[in-house]
Each structure stands twice: as structure tokens, then as C-alpha cells.
Amino acid sequence: MARYSWIALRCAIALASFFLVGCNKEGTSPAWEVPGATVPANFPAPVYAAAQNPPTREAYELGRTLFYDTRLSRTGAVSCGSCHQQSGAFANADHRLSQGVEGRLGARNAPALQNLRWKTSLLWDGGATHIETMPLAPITDPREMDETLDNVLQKLNADPAYQQRFAQVYGERPITSYQFLRTLAQFTAALTSANSRYDHYVRHEANGALSAAELRGLATARQKCAPCHGGELFTDESFRNNGLDATFPADSGRAHITGRPQDAGRFKVPSLRNVALTAPYMHDGRFHTLAQVLNHYASDMVDSPTLDAQFRRPNGRLGISLSEQEKSDLVAFLHTLTDSAFLADARLAE
């Protein structure tokens, strides 16, 4: 009798601890779902729809492991996450230019990685046209990760943990470039920022109150920063010359891709989402503050043959007419585009 009750007790403990563990897991992530799997109510239809690479937890988490794995670089020192940090909306805070293997400096400022599902092209010059093949650019660039696709696959295939996780997702071995690129895209496509205070305001949700200054700034942005920074993504995905330089000897931007002289000095219009966190600004990271950026548009613009027509005013002046009040309102509004939930989402972290 004593023996049976001892067994019963042990069973009870085992059962209880099982449920406790279960409860604990449920408690940390109620209804765990892959981030960015659903389209935010105020967003347009994505370019890279979830159906093109249906998100699953296993593939997403494997993609996250790849994103933060320094073995994607030749020296084993640089991962995607090295230059794209969650705390800075997956841009590289305080770095004017991206820093690759052996301290090599890249040509441009690492852009924020957010809402990539909606991008019609990637990189400052739009040279990459698909979210799945885009990582091949930084992986193989000698100034960035300086690695070959062959070597990356060799390293992944030599790792039993990767072998097992890839086989779990794809049901076959070895790990192929297709599996590698599709898996990485599971993570990068998930980086959706759509829960800023502005989003709550525009969707009439709780915590969506904007101050008078922020509302004035929103009106100014819609009037004077559109169409370039228009729409709910705050970019029209176009390439424009915003009057930074008179000539473009070092970096011709879009012309580097198209070979057309009319594209010289044109760069992809970045989104304004999380812009308060993505300093320094511009393709070469030349501005450190939002105030400097606004001063550039208001009064410091430089003329060149390919300067965007938006910046040629009827009075012959260049740029956007902005009063000091409008500038300060704009800065107030831009801070409402900071998405704290995105920056703190544990599912996106290393």
C-alpha cells in the first residue's frame, strides 16, 4: 500500500511539473505566432506575400539563427545582425558606414530592415530586386562579409544542428542555396513595424493619442514630405536626388545599376518609420540629427542636373519651405513613428 502511494505521489509530481512547465511556456508567449505573418490593417498589400513563403515557427527561428550567425562571413566575425541591430530598427546606430570583415568600411550607411515585404527593390541603389536573393550581395561583398555562397553552404552542412533543423523544415539533405535563402527570408520578411503610436492613432486603437504639435507635424508631413515619404509605409520606393551634392564621383547611386546618366545621384527614398532611431542619416550617413536633415531640406540643398523636380520651387529656390515651427512639429511627429514593440519584440532578438 505504501509503495503504491509512493508511486502515485511521484506520478502526481510528474504530472504537476508537466503542467507547470506547460503553463510557464504559455505564459511567456500566449498564442505564439511568427511576427509579421498578417498584414497590418493600415498597410497596403505586400509585394512579398506570406503565401509566397508560408511562415512557420521552425523555419522562422532557423532564419533568425542564420541572421545572427557570424559564420556567414569569411572571418566568422560579422553577421547580418552586426550592422542591423534590433535596438535601432535593424539599422546600425552611430555608424556612418557599415563595417565589414577586418574592419573594412562599406560604401554606404546600413539601412533599417523593416517592412521588407513591401519593398519593390532593396539596397540604396535598388540593385537587389528580391528579398530572397538580396543577402547574396552583403555576403559576397569584399567590404562586408567577403564570403562565397559555396563556403556558407559548406559551413552549414558541416554543422549537425543546422543539418537537423533544415531537414526538419525541408525534409531532405543536404542544405541547398534554395533552402538557405528561403529560410533567411522567413526572418527578414517578418520584420514588420506597424505598432507605433502613429499606427495606433490611425487605426483608432488605444494608446493612439497624438499631441497638438504631433498632429500639426503629421499634417505638415502629409503636405510637404509626400509623395516621396507618403503612404502608410512613409516611402514611395522611388529613387531621387535630394540635393546632397553637385557631382557624384564616388557613388552615382541608381545610375550604378541602370547605367543611365539621368539616374546619377539618385538613391532609394527610405521610410520614415523609426526614423528617430536610425541616425546617422542619408546613404552616406552624413547627418547626425533630424534637425540637420530638416535644415538640409529647408535651406542647404545643392543643385545638380538630376535634382528631383519636387525640390525646384516656383521662386527659383531649392528644397522645401519649412518654418521653424514646422520643423519642430515635424520632429515631434517623427517620434510618433517609433515602434517600441518592434524594438523590444523578443521573437526578433538574437
Partner 1 sequence: MKLRKISAIFFYLLFSSAALTSCKEDSDMQPKVGTLDVAIDHVVGTATLALNTGSYATPAGDQFTVSTFKYYLSNFTLKKADGTTHLVPESYYLVDEAVPASKTFTLSGIPAGDYTSLSFTIGVDSARNVAGAQTGALDPQKNMFWSWNTGYIFTKLEGTSPQAPNTALVFHIGGFKAPHNTIRTISPSLKGATIQVQGTQTPTLHLKADVLKMFTGPTTVRFTQLYNTMGGANSVVVADNQAAGMFVVDYVHAN
Residues of this chain that bind partner 1 (CB under 8 A)? 52, 123, 127-133, 136-137, 139-141, 149-150, 153, 176-178, 181-182, 185, 256-260
How many CA within 13 A on the CB side of residue 20?
6
Please, which residue, 134 or 293, has the CB nearer to partner 1?
134
C-alpha cell at 200: 495606433
Q: Least distance from C-beta 219 to partner 1, angstroms?
A: 38
Question: Smallest gap, in angstroms, from Cβ of residue 47 to partner 1?
Answer: 11
Task: Closer to partner 1 by CB, 127 or 230: give it.
Answer: 127
How far is 333 from 286, CA to CA, in rounded Å? 22
Distance between CA atoms of 75 and 122, rounded to whole angstroms? Answer: 25
135 to 114, 169, 183, 239: CA distances (angstroms): 15, 20, 11, 21
Give the three cell numbers for residue 237: 520606393
Shortest Å distance, C-beta 156 to partner 1? 12
Closer CB to partner 1, 133 or 289, in the complex: 133
Distance CA 330, CA 272 (A): 11
Q: What's the rounded Cα separation, in Å, for the pair 210 and 200?
A: 10
How far is residue 299 CA from its own chain's centroid?
Answer: 30
Q: How far is the CB of 314 from partner 1 (least distance, A)?
A: 34
Measured from the CB of residue 149, what is the shortest distance to partner 1 in angstroms?
5
Cα→Cα distances 67→81, 118, 340, Å? 6, 20, 21
User: Which of 254/327 has CB closer to partner 1?
Assistant: 254
Quick one: which H or E segment has residue 162? helix 160-170
- Residue 299 CA: distances (Å) to CA of 223, 271, 293, 302, 317: 18, 22, 10, 9, 9
Smallest gap from Cβ 174 to partner 1, in A, equals 12
Q: How far apart are CA 203 and CA 42, in angstroms?
A: 7
**11 vs 49, which CB is nearer to partner 1?**
49
For 171-182, b where at least 16 C-beta lie within 10 A, e where not — what string? eeeebeeebbbb
Binding site feature residues? 80, 83-84, 225, 228-229
Comparison of 97 and 221: residue with beta carbon closer to partner 1: 97
Nearer to partner 1, 173 or 222 (CB): 173
**Least distance (Å) from partner 1 to the CB of residue 81?**
19
Task: List, as one string, the DSSP characters of 163-193.
Answer: HHHHHHHHSSSS--HHHHHHHHHHHHTT---
Residues at the annotated binding site for heme c?
A: 80, 83-84, 225, 228-229
Shortest Å, Cβ 176 to partner 1: 7
Pick the closer one to partner 1 by CB: 150 or 324.
Answer: 150
